[in-house]
Structure 1
Amino acid sequence: MKTTKMKHFAGVVALCTVLLASACSNGGNNTAATSNAAVVETVSADQQTDAATTALTMDELVEFDEEDYSTEWSEDSATKIVFDGASATVTGAGAAAGDGGSVSITEAGTYVLSGSLSDGQLTVNAPDGTVRLVLNGVELHHNDNAPLYILEAGKVVMTLQEGTDNKLSDGAEYSYADANADEPNAALYSKADLTINGTGSLTVEGNFNNGINSRDDLKLVSGTITVKAVDDGLLGKDRVAALEGTALTVEAGGDGVKSTNAEEEGKGIIAIGGGVFDITSGNDALQAETSMLVAGGTFSLVTGGGSVNGETHTEEFGGGWGGGGQGFPGGGEMPAAPGTGDAAGAASEASAASASDAGVTTAAASTTDAAATTAEAAEEESTSAKALKAGSDIQIGGGTFTIDSADDSVHSNGNLTIAGGEFSLTSGDDGIHADSAVTIAGGKIDITKSYEGIEGSVIKLAGGETNVTASDDGVNVGGGNDGSSVNGRAGQNTITDGTHMLTISGGTHSVNASGDGLDSNGSIAMSGGTVTVSGPTNAGNGSLDYDGTFEMTGGYLIAAGSSGMLQATSDTSSQQSVLMMFPSTLEAGTLVRLEDDEGNAIATFAPAKTFQAVMISSPDLKQGGTYKVFSGGSSTGTETNGLYEGGEYTGGTEVVSFEITSAVTWVNESGVTTAQSGMGMGGGGRGGMGGGQRPMRGQGGQLPADGTAPGAGDGTVPVAPPEGAADTGAEAQ
């Protein structure tokens, strides 16, 4: 008698609930979800700033019973099926051997499989009860169909016998009795619930199409499973669930693991309580049609050949540049640029005329462009190569993730919550993306490469540690899903309804962005946490960029970058901020130190890229206090993402001493100054250079209301656009 027992995983339910509770019970008025809690509650406008979602738990999403865990079987009561090339021997009831070694199982019971079948099929057609298949060192191959085909059963439990290696494989072409048939389409094909357990190994080769396909539930309790498929690796139509005893390796031309049922409520789910997952896929690695829950596990995921195969993004910067808008009275001059003086002003007028002509051409081609955008969006969807993807909701409470994805690393078409886990994400597109709400309440997230780091219509940073590197925006509150936004990208729409928010209340977050550092097409509110930004070096982006307000009530914020599109926190904030404009660009790694009149450090920071402006907000800044700004020098403090704590600061050069007299104090080397209106600096709206509207990407430079050309100012403080800006007619935001 075989007496091996599997450990029960009852603790998984509690694990999921505890890890996700901190992210999903933060004050929103949530309605309890029904039908396995898989349908995520829609977030109403007045709840969006909390980005609250309904908590998913393993026990609500999937049920494991005694039969799923049990690996026991008896020599006395089990039916033995021994394959021998082109023949098979059946000892016991419930099964019969046919031509070529094929075997049909027609009754519930336990069947122990061993030996090798060179070209045949094991079928299961037992409508009532549970069929247990014990793979005890068996290899099944069929040249033109599925070697293991489960037509009907109450349930099938497949046990991988301890110490055995087992294999299923098919040929590259299938032959169907009915010309209209499209199933089976996998080496292991089941039309009943299928559970795999045990401590042995199973290798599945899907040379025709898929590796393992269950048209109901697919549950992985334990075992070492290796799947190689020309299309999808593993499918569970209703749900795919895995526990910590699972070790899964997948190499798939299509998706790695997916659940596809979008028609029935509470299905189309992936729920993972633990395990080891090594997936290389041409398309998505883990794709749930509705909801995905990950409570633990180790994940190594590569999609679409990795981030090197990501879409090429070209950022353009356009018209609307000029020198007559920034103005730091008494300050140093910035480099010359279009719009400087009379000659440049005339050149700007000529450019404005060209831009107007270009605008006519753009309008005429708008229908064609829209159609092309739609086609491109459809193509993008058809070739999706995301790592973790769900149609309505993703919740992650733990696990270790190493991801190299051609498309988004973590993507939800609805809401996304991260409450724990460790992430190393290298993405050819977004690191973390949700069409609706992104909530980060815990975990350690390193986005080492991305186009945009974290993107969503609502973003809440409530805890954890994030480090973001982005070739465009670091953290971007955009306008919805990729296909519905301007130019087919989220984040291109200006939101004016007050519901789209970046809210920062806790955690430690570092951003290194070539585009905007923190970008909200709505508003920003910060009440806690620590945020450092090494922002853009070009004048067409800003380390902070928002269209509504930035209410600063707590926390610690340092944002460094170029000086072309400066914004500080709103002047209605209860916590003080200082924006320092240096007379010239400083090199990456140059220390900037802000200290009080007693020499106590407010901040010591070394931006990762060249910069000319630094904004600092700290609870230690007080109205009426006197402060000094230093540049250069060195610190013996402990450095994390450019921010130094403790130690001794020496060798710096004092740039300016000043007194704080308002919520936002603008400073240059001459002292306190006031930002001129029209720049969107300090009090809210974005505003354009020289008093005009800031052009949105794809809109082209907009002319001021009086019809004069952009940049026709007095040239007092000209701003240099990025190379080629005068010709592009579009600007990143």
Structure 2
Amino acid sequence: MTGADGTAAVAASAITEDTHYDDDDLTWDAAEEVPVTLADGASTATGDGVSVDGDTVTVTAAGTYRLSGTLTDGQLVVAAGEEGVVRILLDGVELTSSTGSPFVVSGANEVLLYLEDGSTNTLTDAGAYADTGTDAPNAALYSMADLTIGGTGSLTVEGNAADGIVSKDGLVLAAGDVTVDAVDDGIKGKDYIALLGGTWDVTAGGDGVKSTNEDEDGRGWFTVYGGQLVVSSGDDGVKAATLLTVDAGTVDVTGSVEGLEAQHITINGGTVGVTSSDDGVNAAGGSSSAGGMGGMGGMGGGSMEVGDYTVTVTGGTLTIDSEGDGLDSNGDASITGGTVTVNGPSGEGNGALDVNGTLTVDGGTVAAAGSAGMAVTPDAASAQSGVQVTFGSALPAGTAVQIATADGTVVGAFVTGKDTASLVYSSSAITAGETYTIYAGGTTTASAGITEGTLDGAQELGTVVAGEYTQAAGPGRR
């Protein structure tokens, strides 16, 4: 029999990093499944490798175990050897603990948690844990071993004491319809997280989804290969200790303090949306060294710390709505493709773009709107030109800003998402050294963000020269 997951966006062979996961993990012989029925005071297991002690069910060997039923106050424990894969098939399971975590992997080589097609499953932990020792479980789904979650069924995880899902090793999110609601962090993988497919809806009082290993080379990364991730968090939305990469799929941080954070952040594809009360995309962490500012339009010189941090956008769509800095790198930033839209802060202490090192724009389309006091612009070494517009008074949300050639051809249009005092706009349609006229109003095909437009009814604000980035020389200083 194959348990191959039809909703997985990519196969294991597409993962470029070193992980525990391969496609064979989702393949097994149905004849070798061990049925386990959960029931208060009456749980049963038919086969080897599993024992029942009251309302605690313990898996002690590699194999495939199909679970169904309910424990209103019990626990599933995986305490297996270091050989083979332990497959736990959830086929209509409600598992709750009043004293701690209801699902604990204390030892195994690798565990696959498989959500059976059409099944609905729930894991709910206690509001306070009886064991609060250093190495004690602290999540409703807690694993000391490499963990994979797959299958086409649904899973709801309630982390009432602290975290929702935790792997103290590697974590692969292959597929599933998974909802996590946690008092503290939503989903944590120590060594890495690979998101391949499925739908993941995370609400967390702390961080939303993160990898945490900053001590070992090649670890602490989080890569989105596909799937849909929606996060609402009380702290950082999506975070990696070292490298955060989005290759495909959808990442939507609907609420956060800082939206995406890692030492290195790369967007190669997919759709990423961020709403944050502080920085939207923040490359921070690791070591730093003194260096000069690059690409700081209108900032008047000076120096800031420039460290080994990067934001790189080569494709996809990145949309940021931030109250702090929009796209922020404590090192360098590079945009070579894709679409980047920033509705940044209104306050003067932050900017839509904030890059301590060099910001280069060599492709793609960029619209970064926000306050004028911290207006950072692309470096002169950028292969692609653009314009900076500083308005005499802030334009209100919903205002169309259009960039046109002398003959009235619109080469760029942007509709503001909030009050905007400055706009940096770059695209392949803009030629360095050419003079462009800036308009407010007119008609646009979309009501927000980067769009297309015409000048019918638009008001002329003034002119700018492409590539001459200086916040003092913008039009519209009325």
TM-score band by shorter chain is 0.7 to 0.9
Query: 8 Å contact 1:148–1:189 — kept in the other structure?
Result: no
Distance 1:565 1:148 in 2: 65
Task: Give the aligned partner of residue 236 of structure 1.
Answer: 105
Matched to 1:243, the amino acid is Y
How far the C-alpha of 1:504 sits from its partner, in A, is 0.3
Matched to 1:229, the amino acid is S
How far the C-alpha of 1:276 sits from its partner, in A, is 1.1
Task: Give the aligned partner of residue 141 of structure 2.
Answer: 257
- SS of the aligned residue for 2:11 comes to helix
- Residue among 257, 281, 292 paired with 2:159: 281
1:455 aligns with 2:261: yes
Query: 8 Å contact 1:302–1:387 — kept in the other structure?
Result: yes
1:197 aligns with 2:7: no
Task: Give the aligned partner of residue 57 of structure 1.
Answer: 22
1:644 aligns with 2:451: yes
The structure-2 alpha-carbon separation of the partners of 1:284 and 1:393, relative to structure 1 and needing over 3 Å to count, comes to same
The structure-2 alpha-carbon separation of the partners of 1:194 and 1:297, relative to structure 1 and needing over 3 Å to count, comes to same
Distance 1:197 1:206 in 2: 20
> How does 1:680-695 map onto structure 2 within 5 Å?
none
- Residue among 49, 56, 81 paired with 1:155: 49
The structure-2 alpha-carbon separation of the partners of 1:569 and 1:244, relative to structure 1 and needing over 3 Å to count, comes to same
The structure-2 alpha-carbon separation of the partners of 1:276 and 1:14, relative to structure 1 and needing over 3 Å to count, comes to closer
How far the C-alpha of 1:663 sits from its partner, in A, is 6.4
> How does 1:59-74 map onto structure 2 within 5 Å?
59=24, 62=25, 65-66=28-29, 69-70=30-31
Question: Percent identity, aligned pairs only?
Answer: 27
How far the C-alpha of 1:139 sits from its partner, in A, is 4.1
- Residue among 67, 73, 78 paired with 1:214: 78
Task: Give the aligned partner of residue 82 of structure 1.
Answer: none
Task: Give the aligned partner of residue 8 of structure 1.
Answer: 2
The structure-2 alpha-carbon separation of the partners of 1:274 and 1:235, relative to structure 1 and needing over 3 Å to count, comes to farther
> How does 1:11-22 map onto structure 2 within 5 Å?
11-12=4-5, 15=8, 17-18=10-11, 21=14
Distance 2:7 2:347 in 1: 49
Task: Give the aligned partner of residue 299 of structure 2.
Answer: none
The structure-2 alpha-carbon separation of the partners of 1:428 and 1:14, relative to structure 1 and needing over 3 Å to count, comes to closer
Which of the two has greater strand per residue? 2
Task: Give the aligned partner of residue 402 of structure 1.
Answer: 201
- Residue among 402, 406, 409 paired with 1:597: 406
Distance 2:105 2:409 in 1: 60
Which of the two has greater helix per residue? 1
Distance 1:477 1:250 in 2: 34
- Residue among 191, 196, 208 paired with 1:392: 191
Task: Give the aligned partner of residue 252 of structure 2.
Answer: 446
What do you get for the CA RMSD once the two structures are aligned? 3.0
Task: Give the aligned partner of residue 41 of structure 2.
Answer: 141
Q: CA offsets, 1:391-423, max 9 Å, x none?
A: 010000111122211111111011000011122
Query: 8 Å contact 1:301–1:402 — kept in the other structure?
Result: yes
Matched to 1:202, the amino acid is G
- SS of the aligned residue for 1:256 comes to strand
How far the C-alpha of 1:222 sits from its partner, in A, is 4.6
- Residue among 654, 667, 678 paired with 2:460: 654
Query: 8 Å contact 2:59–2:79 — kept in the other structure?
Result: yes
Matched to 1:155, the amino acid is G
How far the C-alpha of 1:447 sits from its partner, in A, is 1.1
Query: 8 Å contact 2:12–2:23 — kept in the other structure?
Result: no
How far the C-alpha of 1:591 sits from its partner, in A, is 1.6
Task: Give the aligned partner of residue 302 of structure 1.
Answer: 181
Query: 8 Å contact 1:444–1:464 — kept in the other structure?
Result: yes
Larger relative contact order (C-alpha < 8 A, sep ≥ 6)?
Answer: 1
Alignment coverage as a number of residue pairs: 434
Q: CA offsets, 1:76-129, max 9 Å, x none?
A: xxxxxxxxxxxxxxxxxxxxxxxxxxxxxxxxxxxxxxxxxxxxxxxxxxxxxx
How far the C-alpha of 1:428 sits from its partner, in A, is 0.8
Note the residue ranges of structure 1 that are not aligned, 5 or more in a row.
1-6, 39-55, 73-131, 159-167, 171-185, 261-266, 305-384, 485-493, 673-733
Q: CA offsets, 1:543-577, max 9 Å, x none?
A: 00011101111010000101111110111111112
Task: Give the aligned partner of residue 318 of structure 2.
Answer: 509
Matched to 2:93, the amino acid is I
How far the C-alpha of 1:247 sits from its partner, in A, is 3.5
Distance 1:303 1:510 in 2: 26
How far the C-alpha of 1:206 sits from its partner, in A, is 2.8
Distance 1:300 1:582 in 2: 44
Distance 2:39 2:368 in 1: 61
Instruction: Please tell me whether Structure 1 or Structure 2 has the larger radius of gyration of its CA atoms.
Output: 1
How far the C-alpha of 1:510 sits from its partner, in A, is 0.6
TM-score (norm 2): 0.82
Task: Give the aligned partner of residue 308 of structure 1.
Answer: none
TM-score (norm 1): 0.55
- SS of the aligned residue for 1:438 comes to strand
Matched to 1:8, the amino acid is T
Distance 1:14 1:299 in 2: 13
The structure-2 alpha-carbon separation of the partners of 1:148 and 1:387, relative to structure 1 and needing over 3 Å to count, comes to same
1:496 aligns with 2:306: yes
Query: 8 Å contact 2:394–2:420 — kept in the other structure?
Result: yes
Q: CA offsets, 1:193-218, max 9 Å, x none?
A: 464327xx3112336xxx21111265
- Residue among 335, 342, 356 paired with 1:547: 356
Query: 8 Å contact 1:462–1:505 — kept in the other structure?
Result: yes
Matched to 2:267, the amino acid is L
Distance 1:415 1:495 in 2: 24
The structure-2 alpha-carbon separation of the partners of 1:63 and 1:273, relative to structure 1 and needing over 3 Å to count, comes to closer
Deviates more, 1:596-605 or 1:565-574: 596-605
How far the C-alpha of 1:242 sits from its partner, in A, is 2.3
Task: Give the aligned partner of residue 491 of structure 1.
Answer: none
Matched to 1:300, the amino acid is T
Q: CA offsets, 1:479-511, max 9 Å, x none?
A: 149xx9xxxxxxxxx7635x3210000001110
Query: 8 Å contact 1:407–1:430 — kept in the other structure?
Result: yes
Query: 8 Å contact 2:192–2:222 — kept in the other structure?
Result: yes
> How does 1:515-554 map onto structure 2 within 5 Å?
515-554=324-363
The structure-2 alpha-carbon separation of the partners of 1:236 and 1:534, relative to structure 1 and needing over 3 Å to count, comes to same
Query: 8 Å contact 2:7–2:197 — kept in the other structure?
Result: no
- Residue among 93, 104, 109 paired with 1:225: 93
Note the residue ranges of structure 2 that are not aligned, 5 or more in a row.
127-137, 213-219, 289-303
Distance 1:614 1:659 in 2: 14
How far the C-alpha of 1:256 sits from its partner, in A, is 1.8
How far the C-alpha of 1:608 sits from its partner, in A, is 1.5
